[in-house]
A and B are shown apart, each in its own frame.
Chain A
Amino acid sequence: MLSSPFITRPLSVDRIMLRVLYALVPGIALYVWYFGPAILVSIALAVTAALATEALMLKLRDRPLRPFLSDYSALLTGCLIALSIPPLAPWWLPVIGSAFAIAVAKHLYGGLGSNPFNPAMIGYAVLIISFPHEMTHWLSPQGVGQSVLSLGQQLHYIFTSALPAGMQLDALTMSTPLDTLKTQLHLGMTVSDIRDLPIYGRLAGKGSEMVAAGFALGGLYLLVARIIPWQLPLAFLGTLFALSGVFNLIDPTHYAPPLFHWFSGAAMIGAFFILTDPITSPTTARGRIIFGIGAGLLTFLIRTYGGFPDGVAFATILMNMCVPLIDTWTQPRIFGKKKEDKR
Chain B
Amino acid sequence: MIRLHRFHGGIHPPTHKAESTRTPIMSAPLPAQLTIPFRQHAGEAAKPVVQVGERVLKGQLIGEPVGAISSSIHAPTSGTITAIDLQQIAHPSALPDLCATLVPDGLDEWGVRQTLSYRQLSSDELQKHLRRSGIVGLGGAVFPSDMKLRHPIVVDTLVINGAECEPYITCDDMLMRERAEAIVRGIEILRHALGTDAVLIGIEDNKPQAISAMQRAVDDSSHPFKVIAVPTVYPGGSAKHLIKVLTGVEVPSGKLPTDVGVQCYNVATAYAVHRAVEHGETLVSRVVTVTGNVEQPRNYEALIGTPFSDLVALSIPKADTNRYIMGGPMMGVELPAVNVPLVKASNCVIAASDALFPPPPAAMPCIRCTRCAQVCPVELQPQDLYWFAQSHNFGKAQEYDLFDCIECGACAYVCPSSIPLVQYYRYAKSEIRARDHEKRAADLARERHEFRQFRIEREKQEKAERLAQKERAAAAAKAAAEAAAAIPTPLEPNADAEDTQQMRIDAALARAKEQAATAHPRNTEALTPEQRAEIEAIEVRRAHIHSLAADAGADDEPPKNSQGN
Chain A residues in contact with chain B, CB under 8 A?
1-13, 15-16, 67-68, 71, 111-114, 229, 278-279, 281, 283-284, 327, 331-338, 341-343
B369 & A278 in contact (Cβ 8 Å cutoff) = yes
In chain A, what residue has the closest Cβ to B234? A5
Known: A6-B325, A335-B377. 11 other contacts (CB 8 A): A3-B422, A3-B423, A8-B412, A12-B418, A113-B417, A283-B370, A283-B373, A331-B381, A335-B404, A336-B378, A343-B260
Q: Could you tell me which residues of chain B, from 238 to 280, have a CB within 8 Å of some CB in chain A?
A: 240-241, 244, 247-255, 260
Given contacts A335-B240, A335-B377, A336-B255, is CB(A5)–CB(B370) below 8 Å? Answer: no
Bound-complex Cα distance A229 to B374 (A) = 10
In chain A, what residue has the closest Cβ to B252? A336
The smallest beta-carbon distance between B340 and chain A, in angstroms, is 14
Residue numbers in A under 8 Å from B360 (CB-CB): 8
Can you offer 24 A-B residue contacts whose CB atoms are under 8 A? A2-B334, A2-B359, A4-B333, A5-B330, A5-B422, A6-B332, A6-B357, A7-B357, A8-B413, A10-B371, A10-B414, A12-B418, A111-B365, A283-B370, A327-B384, A332-B381, A335-B8, A335-B253, A335-B379, A335-B404, A336-B253, A336-B255, A341-B249, A343-B260
Bound-complex Cα distance A67 to B333 (A) = 29
Bound-complex Cα distance A71 to B367 (A) = 11
Cβ proximity bits B340-371 to A, threshold 8 Å, 1 near / 0 not: 00000000000010000101111011111111
Bound-complex Cα distance A208 to B364 (A) = 37
Given contacts A3-B92, A4-B333, is CB(A333)–CB(B379) below 8 Å? Answer: yes
Residue numbers in A under 8 Å from B334 (CB-CB): 1-3
B415 located at the interface, meaning its Cβ lies under 8 Å from any Cβ of chain A in the complex: yes
B237 located at the interface, meaning its Cβ lies under 8 Å from any Cβ of chain A in the complex: no
A7 & B13 in contact (Cβ 8 Å cutoff) = yes
B329 located at the interface, meaning its Cβ lies under 8 Å from any Cβ of chain A in the complex: yes
Give the residue of A16, A67, A279 whose beta carbon is less than 8 angstroms from that of B416: A16
The smallest beta-carbon distance between B263 and chain A, in angstroms, is 16
Bound-complex Cα distance A112 to B253 (A) = 35
Tell me what chain A mostly uses at the interface: helix, strand, loop, or mixed: loop
Give the residue of A67, A111, A283 whose beta carbon is less than 8 angstroms from that of B383: A283
Residue numbers in A under 8 Å from B367 (CB-CB): 13, 112-113, 278-279
A278 & B378 in contact (Cβ 8 Å cutoff) = no
In chain B, what residue has the closest Cβ to A16? B416
B380 located at the interface, meaning its Cβ lies under 8 Å from any Cβ of chain A in the complex: yes
Bound-complex Cα distance A284 to B331 (A) = 27
A342 & B413 in contact (Cβ 8 Å cutoff) = no
Q: Which of A11, A15, A336 has the most CB of B within 10 A?
A: A336
Bound-complex Cα distance A113 to B330 (A) = 26
A113 & B416 in contact (Cβ 8 Å cutoff) = no
A8 & B401 in contact (Cβ 8 Å cutoff) = no
Given contacts A3-B423, A9-B414, is CB(A113)–CB(B253) below 8 Å? Answer: no
Give the residue of B249, B327, B332, B378 whose beta carbon is less than 8 angstroms from that of A334: B378
B43 located at the interface, meaning its Cβ lies under 8 Å from any Cβ of chain A in the complex: no
Q: Which of A4, A9, A111, A327 has the most CB of B within 10 A?
A: A4
Residue numbers in B under 8 Å from A334 (CB-CB): 253, 378-380, 401, 404
Residue numbers in B under 8 Å from A16 (CB-CB): 369, 416
A341 & B364 in contact (Cβ 8 Å cutoff) = no
Residue numbers in A under 8 Å from B378 (CB-CB): 334-336
In chain B, what residue has the closest Cβ to A342? B248
In chain B, what residue has the closest Cβ to A64? B362
B37 located at the interface, meaning its Cβ lies under 8 Å from any Cβ of chain A in the complex: no
Bound-complex Cα distance A332 to B371 (A) = 15
Bound-complex Cα distance A338 to B255 (A) = 13
Bound-complex Cα distance A337 to B352 (A) = 38
Give the residue of A112, A283, A331 whose beta carbon is less than 8 angstroms from that of B365: A112
B329 & A4 in contact (Cβ 8 Å cutoff) = yes
What 10 pairs between A and B have smallest CB-CB spacing? A113-B365, A5-B409, A336-B253, A278-B369, A6-B357, A6-B329, A335-B378, A7-B329, A5-B330, A13-B416
Bound-complex Cα distance A71 to B251 (A) = 41
A335 & B7 in contact (Cβ 8 Å cutoff) = yes
B231 located at the interface, meaning its Cβ lies under 8 Å from any Cβ of chain A in the complex: no
Residue numbers in A under 8 Å from B369 (CB-CB): 16, 278
Residue numbers in A under 8 Å from B371 (CB-CB): 10-11
Residue numbers in B under 8 Å from A332 (CB-CB): 379, 381
Given contacts A5-B330, A331-B381, A331-B400, is CB(A113)–CB(B368) below 8 Å? Answer: yes
Bound-complex Cα distance A7 to B413 (A) = 7
B332 & A12 in contact (Cβ 8 Å cutoff) = no
Given contacts A4-B329, A7-B357, is CB(A67)–CB(B384) below 8 Å? Answer: no
In chain B, what residue has the closest Cβ to A12? B416
Give the residue of A13, A111, A335, A343 whose beta carbon is less than 8 angstroms from that of B417: A13
Residue numbers in A under 8 Å from B426 (CB-CB): 3
